[in-house]
Amino acid sequence: MTASPVISATGLFTPPESISNEELVESYNAYAKLHNERHTDSIAAGEVEALEESSTGFIEKASGIKSRYVMAKEPVLDPEIMAPRWDDRGNDELSMMAEIGVKAARQALERAGRKPEDVDAVLCAASNMQRPYPAIAIEIQNALGIDGFAFDMNVACSSATFGIQTAADYIRSGNAKSVLVVSPEITSGHLNWRDRDSHFIFGDVATAVLVEAKDIAPQGHWDILGTKLKTVFSNNIRNNGGFLNRAHPDTRDAPDKLFVQEGRKVFKEVVPMVSAMILEEADKLGIDPHGLRRLWLHQANAGMNRLIAQRVLGHEASDDESPTVLDTYANTSSAGSIIAFHKHNDDLAAGDTALICSFGAGYSVGSVFIRKT
């Protein structure tokens, strides 16, 4: 008999420092002013473009974002740096992604009443890894003292839901009984803080989801009713950063080596793709989408979530039906829907059916229908 996968618990690590829109815009505008002053002649000659100011009003209206957490506030806000900076760590020290991943994972284990030795596998599912190898997941596994296997996986903003389906499949096949899906997202390292169109988008965080076989799960777990993944190639969200950059010293620091997007196109193309997939999957699983108690959607843009929720639920969603964490966390890539789930699930009752859904670069969409027990 195949085992049924459930979500036993989640964990969250939030960095201690945050940046408000006001602080962010002040720093960007200082940078833009400096840039314009330093290039007065080439701007006048039409060789360099003058930079326009950013505005808090635009950011909040266009995205719903009011603030974001970061691992290194000062250098990000310094108009002469505009990027995170930290000291290199020795090979005998825990790397940064592993460190915050371990913190989120420990909380998930505690909440489930689980010891590390009960866990069989660790997936580090995130939109960027700080090094190619050894896998961050194996470092997390080692730091926690887990006997088993671990590997990294990257499906950009959908990494966590793709990780949940992968973990669920290990449970279904009997290859594992307890799997940690850890998503440390240090997005501040691949956001271009000098790009007016996107400098406000991202924040740092780490989440963990413990996926287990139902027969060992703690009380109050969530049955996984069905998972569905979809990818369709698109260049509209792209990051050309990577280990081969070194081959081209002239272009290795070019803006395309960080996050770039065609935000309007993403908005227009992803909303119908996500809504259609959720409705198709609900139909296959015999779930009435209008009866879904809550949607924990990917946290990229408040307007996108409003439209998707409306198409799925058949009416305009209240904050209770489709909670947001964009205001405080901004877009945290794959961790967004998991933060929303982590912070807004205690009040649901046994029998309530709900949905975790992520979407983003690739394009990629991952949906996880769950029911509270």
Which residues carry out catalysis? 157
Is 237 near ligand COA (CB under 6 A)?
yes
Is 300 near ligand COA (CB under 6 A)?
yes
Find the Cα–Cα–Cα–Cα dihedral 302, 226, 294, 329, rounded to 10°.
Answer: -40
Check: CB of residue 150 under 8 Å from CB of residue 123: yes
The residues that bridge with 5 in the sheet, in sequence order, are 213
Is 360 near ligand COA (CB under 6 A)?
yes
Applying the rule CB under 6 A, the residues between 149 and 178 that interact with ligand COA are 157
Is 196 near ligand COA (CB under 6 A)?
yes
Could you tell me the smallest distance in angstroms from the CB atom of residue 130 to ligand COA? 19
Q: Is the dihedral of CA 251, 132, 87, 330 positive or negative?
A: positive
Check: CB of residue 336 under 8 Å from CB of residue 204: no
Site size with ligand COA, rule: CB under 6 A = 21
* CA-to-CA separations, 348 to 9, 57, 226, 305, 315, in angstroms, rounded: 14, 34, 19, 20, 20
Is 267 near ligand COA (CB under 6 A)?
yes
Whole-angstrom Cα distance, residue 294 to residue 276? 17
Q: Which stretch binds ligand COA (CB under 6 A): 117-125, 159-167, 168-176, 298-306?
A: 298-306
State which residue, 3 or 59, has the beta carbon closest to ligand COA.
Answer: 59
Give, to the nearest 10 degrees, the angle between helix 263-285 and helix 302-313.
30
State which residue, 51 or 354, has the beta carbon closest to ligand COA.
Answer: 51
Is 337 near ligand COA (CB under 6 A)?
no
Q: For the window 38-57, what string marks contact with ligand COA as x by the rule CB under 6 A?
A: ----------------xx--
Whole-angstrom Cα distance, residue 194 to residue 201? 12
Candidates 79, 81, 263, 311: give the one binding ligand COA (CB under 6 A).
263
State which residue, 4 or 231, has the beta carbon closest to ligand COA.
Answer: 231
**E strand intervals along the chain:** 5-13, 17-20, 67-70, 121-125, 149-153, 178-186, 204-213, 222-231, 237-238, 260-261, 294-297, 353-360, 364-372
Q: Which stretch binds ligand COA (CB under 6 A): 31-39, 73-81, 177-185, 260-268?
A: 260-268
State which residue, 32 or 140, has the beta carbon closest to ligand COA.
Answer: 32
State which residue, 102 or 237, has the beta carbon closest to ligand COA.
Answer: 237
Candidates 197, 253, 316, 320: give the one binding ligand COA (CB under 6 A).
197
Check: CB of residue 370 under 8 Å from CB of residue 356: yes
Could you tell me the smallest distance in angstroms from the CB atom of residue 235 to ligand COA? 13
Could you tell me the smallest distance in angstroms from the CB atom of residue 242 to ligand COA? 18
Is 261 near ligand COA (CB under 6 A)?
yes
Collapsed DSSP state (helix, strand, coil) of residue 54? coil
Those residues with Cβ within 8 angstroms of residue 32's Cβ, 6 or more apart along the chain or in another chain: 51, 52, 53, 54, 196
Whole-angstrom Cα distance, residue 204 to residue 328? 11
Applying the rule CB under 6 A, the residues between 95 and 154 that interact with ligand COA are none
Whole-angstrom Cα distance, residue 296 to residue 325? 10
The H or E element that residue 164 is part of is helix 159-173
Candidates 14, 95, 183, 301: give the one binding ligand COA (CB under 6 A).
301
Q: Which stretch binds ligand COA (CB under 6 A): 115-123, 144-152, 212-220, 256-264?
A: 256-264
The DSSP output letter for 196 is T
Is 305 near ligand COA (CB under 6 A)?
no
Q: Which residue has the tokens 């009997």?
A: 174
State which residue, 304 or 313, has the beta carbon closest to ligand COA.
Answer: 304
State which residue, 225 or 271, has the beta carbon closest to ligand COA.
Answer: 271
Whole-angstrom Cα distance, residue 146 to residue 109? 12
Could you tell me the smallest distance in angstroms from the CB atom of residue 16 to ligand COA? 24
**Residue numbers of the site for ligand COA (CB under 6 A)?**
54-55, 58-59, 62-63, 157, 196-197, 237, 261, 263-264, 266-267, 300-301, 304, 331, 360-361
